[in-house]
Amino acid sequence: MVQSVPNIFKIPDLRKKILFTLAMVVVYRLGCHVPTPGINPQALGLLLNQLRGTIFGLYDIFVGGALSRASIFALGIMPYISASIIFQLMGSVFPYLEKLQRDEEGRKKINQYTRYATVGLAAIQATAIAVYLEQQPPTAAGPIVILGGFFFRILTIFTLTAGTIFVMWLGEQITDKGIGNGISFIIFIGCLDNMPQDIGRTFAMVRVGELSWLALLVIGLVIFGVYAGVVLFTQATRKIPVQYPKRIVGRKMYGGQTTHIPLRLTTAGVIPIIFAQSLIVFPSTFATFFKVPFMETVKTILAPGGWLYNLLYAALIIFFTYFYTSIVFNPQDIADNMQRYGGFIPGIRPGPQTASYIDKSLSLITLPGAIFLTIMALLPYYLMSVFRVPFYFGGTTLLIIVGVALDTIQQIESHLLMRHYEGLLKGTRIKGRRF
């Protein structure tokens, strides 16, 4: 791989894409440090430190700490992600949207609707943030809002909404002119925000004797093994063989080939963990806003790392894994398309039996995928308690980092192989294929 890296910069088109992507990342990171007018970043940072176990702490991770810095990109790309998920879920309910999802022009319309919904969601979230911050008492670093009132609310709404629109535009530019999926890449950069500080804190603990070198070695081996396992499970697929008979159209013969349907072990991706986290932190978030004794008790019972928290968290992840997989993967559509072109699975009749067979196969491999996601979600709490790791390792951020990194590397790989250069992944097997 090291010998193949210089080949990347020998291809003008690929070099231009990578440099453009890096330039957009620099712009995004600069924006994450530009403060929103009228907000005291130090005071807001102290407030968010008290809200780490709520939805605000989860949100701040995805936006790369921009929320705790009171940045103009405080909302990040998350309103766009929320809008995309909403339209994806609505596609399984409303026939009109389901029809649009099946052709290119329809998907362009849905993308446009998603942009409009992003602006609306960003405006609503910005309004909630402005009103909430105005109601907070002063912290040790001073008042959070320097000068409140109607003008502050309007300015905050316009600033944060415009920041989200700009971040969405950056993501689309990376997708069109850069390398990888721009929206995913922006979240990827946000997830890496705390990594330098985490590494620095770990070595600082070793220097002062709070952590031994042996423990550091064990932690390194565990992290390496976890990354290897995530790569393995993320890329794991079950290939269902499909045969197409030969057919003559005019003077040409088509078909007669054998292909396969790849069923991924983690078809739902990281979405189940995000949904489960959003629900599991709801009691803490509610108790923060409303000082109700009952909710305070529930917050204590559902403290992160407790047995009830882990059990409920695991159950939610498994449920959302099956739920989201059933939405994004429709066995009946695949069976209908295969039957339309004469394809069949050996030993299985076309039509309903094919759909039933695919659905059963997908359900069987979804269970180990759901268990894997559960282990990844609960891993940070055990690492922090057993190995005294001074940082949050695992869960959503790890899956995002690995998934986006693999997707970007494979796109670079395709550019290299297309131009007859030696690939980055020479000698490794991914998806059962040797590069």
**CA 211 to chain CA centroid, nearest Å:** 32
Going by C-alpha positions, the residue among 63, 110, 62 that lies closest to residue 84 is 110
CB distance 387 to 394 below 8 Å: no
Same domain? 41 vs 120: yes
Same domain? 220 vs 316: yes
Asked whether residue 421 is domain-assigned, the answer is no
Asked whether residue 154 is domain-assigned, the answer is yes
Residue 432, pLDDT above cutoff 50: no
- Distance, CA of 314 to CA of 386 (rounded, Å): 20
Going by C-alpha positions, the residue among 318, 283, 314 that lies closest to residue 53 is 283
Q: Which residue is associated with the tokens 């790309």? A: 77
Asked whether residue 48 is domain-assigned, the answer is yes
CB distance 63 to 75 below 8 Å: yes
Asked whether residue 386 is domain-assigned, the answer is yes
Same domain? 142 vs 272: no
| Domain-terminating residue out of 193, 216, 250 | 193
| Domain-terminating residue out of 166, 193, 220 | 193
Same domain? 245 vs 183: no
Asked whether residue 430 is domain-assigned, the answer is no
- Distance, CA of 135 to CA of 137 (rounded, Å): 7
Same domain? 71 vs 215: no
pLDDT one-digit tens code per residue, 355-385: 899 999 988 899 998 998 888 888 777 776 6
Asked whether residue 423 is domain-assigned, the answer is no
When mean pLDDT is compared over 30-34, 150-154, 163-167, 387-391, the highest value belongs to 163-167
Range of the domain at 330: 204-393
Same domain? 175 vs 214: no
Same domain? 81 vs 172: yes
Same domain? 288 vs 319: yes
The total of structural domains in the chain comes to: 2
Asked whether residue 435 is domain-assigned, the answer is no
pLDDT at position 182, please?
86
Same domain? 186 vs 209: no
The pTM (predicted TM-score) of the whole model is 0.79
- Distance, CA of 21 to CA of 356 (rounded, Å): 43
Same domain? 189 vs 215: no
Q: Which of 2-6, 84-88, 261-265 has the lowest mean pLDDT?
A: 2-6
Q: What's the DSSP call for residue 434?
A: E
Query: Could you tell me the end-to-end alpha-carbon distance of the chain, in angstroms, rounded to an integer?
Result: 12
Asked whether residue 261 is domain-assigned, the answer is yes
Q: What is the CATH number of the domain that holds 102?
A: 1.10.3370.10
Same domain? 215 vs 176: no
pLDDT at position 287, please?
66
pLDDT one-digit tens code per residue, 107-118: 888 889 999 999
Q: What's the DSSP call for residue 191?
A: H
Same domain? 79 vs 182: yes
- Distance, CA of 393 to CA of 381 (rounded, Å): 9
User: Measured between alpha carbons, how far is residue 364 from residues 96, 295, 300, 360, 405 in Å?
Assistant: 31, 38, 36, 6, 28
Place 161 in a pLDDT band, splitting at 50, 70 and 90. very high
| Domain-terminating residue out of 150, 165, 193 | 193
154-180: buried (b, 16+ CB within 10 Å) or exposed (e) per residue? ebbbebbbebbbebbebbebbbeebbb
Residue 237, pLDDT above cutoff 80: yes
Residue 255, pLDDT above cutoff 60: no
Q: Which of 37-41, 45-49, 213-217, 323-327 has the lowest mean pLDDT?
A: 45-49
pLDDT at position 429, please?
43
CB distance 14 to 412 below 8 Å: yes
